[in-house]
Structure 1
């Protein structure tokens, strides 16, 4: 039985905006839309994964780092308000919380202006180590690669591991991908990221068959377990800002699995519902 979940990775404060045109140097472009009630808003993969899990009443904490600034205080407050444990959020002093300006252009393309803040100075605190060691499920998302490896060494053999993949070679160097492939019970990726997952699994002696959930934008979600495959259709939705949808889908799937759901189609459906709910709730003015 899973009683405690730890989700590790980067935090950020996000400022999303939809442009009425295209951005280039030496000109002003009007913002057509921005969130009416969440500008800025908390971001980062761990929180998106953790929210659906907390929504099912499961004890989940995020292991992350913020700066000693107002944005760090906001992130922690928002996270706690979502029912997610915050005692493994470490504050780095002096330091600024990472900030991301997410600029969606008229054609739907997105550019990010990212201030990494204090990134690169993270270490695991004693409390963070305690939270990781006590976890029945460790979920690894985009974060400091060395610390993710350290986290894998802290958990015991009975701890389940989830890997939320991203096409980010800095956060997921080949050594970490191999370690996660050897340990993960649940893997979440998109179609473009699947190659890295398969390469990691192929390098493992023996034949591991974790649950793999693969997304493909608005196409059906594919899930595999023990040689069987299911595909679950995605409800067509119109939206400008899909940030966090894939991580939320992973969190929704994990919430169903942690609640004891064994039917793979139902598990994937729970993830799709969580992601769709996120997109519907976004209010742009």
Structure 2
């Protein structure tokens, strides 16, 4: 079984006054565990009621919290406002620090979102990745939150630093537009490919995704779906994508320069189906393996 480490923030999403476990890396970790991966997570949650809510959520889906993830402080939070179409906007109250992380025993490492940018934790993430063997598959989702990550120029430097350490990068069209205003999605993906990324993907909401793999552009549409809300959609795409990549020892194959046995188009189709299932029901509720054949 593929051993996965996820590093990133955990928080509660407060939706209409009700707290729900959240944070992009948490959603990815839960999604991967539900799809049969052996998932461990390094994060930061408090020993308060919100922290216990998150801990019960992740462990209930099979995610193991690594030592140092629970601290005697408050848990970070995001107030979520949904518009008339169920699209989410976030107001954050986040603290991000964590102890040194050893990633030597893992086959796949995923990093992303606020935890990739917000100090002092972001420096710990950088240090951990520098020590990772290149044969370990590394994935990165910027999941840009402009209010938290500082000036654009600094965010671009960190984005490209982390992308250069990654085999797989997924970002949304909104992330790409904020990082590189006026540049085409394909142009942004080619930036990442030039840094050494094997598979670079831009999601486009209901329009599906466009990806660049081995210098081939793939444009894959999403199936129509009745949307409950978009909370966790990109994260479900990411977990579906990584589970499809890692199937049948694919993590090692991709890290070594190969491609998944069923090909990149199949990987993207699984990712889109994972997102479609998630947006069809309220909250960040990614599919289980019985719902999403790989």
TM-score normalised per structure 1: 0.79
Task: Note closer, same or farther for the CA distance 1:109–1:194 as it changes in structure 2 (3 Å cut).
Answer: closer
Q: Is the CA contact 1:3–1:59 (under 8 Å) kept in the aligned structure 2?
A: yes
Unaligned 5+ runs, structure 2:
116-120, 181-186, 251-259, 284-294
Q: Superposition pairs for residues 114-193 of structure 1, below 5 Å?
A: 114-116=92-94, 119-120=95-96, 122-124=97-99, 129-130=101-102, 132-142=103-113, 143=115, 144-168=121-145, 170=149, 173-193=155-175
Task: Note closer, same or farther for the CA distance 1:109–1:44 as it changes in structure 2 (3 Å cut).
Answer: closer
Q: Superposition pairs for residues 39-50 of structure 1, below 5 Å?
A: 39-50=18-29
Q: CA deviation at 1:88?
A: 4.5
Q: Is the CA contact 1:190–1:214 (under 8 Å) kept in the aligned structure 2?
A: yes
Q: Superposition pairs for residues 1-285 of structure 1, below 5 Å?
A: 3-17=2-16, 39-88=18-67, 90-93=69-72, 95-106=73-84, 110-116=88-94, 119-120=95-96, 122-124=97-99, 129-130=101-102, 132-142=103-113, 143=115, 144-168=121-145, 170=149, 173-194=155-176, 196=179, 202=191, 208-259=196-247, 260=250, 261-262=260-261, 263-282=263-282
Q: CA deviation at 1:279?
A: 2.0
Q: Is the CA contact 1:49–1:251 (under 8 Å) kept in the aligned structure 2?
A: yes
Task: Note closer, same or farther for the CA distance 1:267–1:88 as it changes in structure 2 (3 Å cut).
Answer: farther
Q: CA deviation at 1:220?
A: 2.6
What SS does structure 1 have at the residue aligned with 2:207?
coil
Residues in 2 aligned to 1:269 and 1:200: alpha-carbon distance in whole angstroms: 18
Q: Is the CA contact 2:168–2:198 (under 8 Å) kept in the aligned structure 1?
A: yes
Task: Note closer, same or farther for the CA distance 1:110–1:52 as it changes in structure 2 (3 Å cut).
Answer: closer
Unaligned 5+ runs, structure 1:
18-33
Root-mean-square deviation (CA, aligned residues, Å) is 2.7
Which has the larger Rg?
1
Q: Is the CA contact 1:7–1:63 (under 8 Å) kept in the aligned structure 2?
A: yes
Task: Note closer, same or farther for the CA distance 1:88–1:267 as it changes in structure 2 (3 Å cut).
Answer: farther
1:55-99 deviations in whole A, cap 9, x for unaligned? 232111121000121111111111000111223561222x11012
What SS does structure 2 have at the residue aligned with 1:158?
coil
Q: Is the CA contact 1:135–1:155 (under 8 Å) kept in the aligned structure 2?
A: no
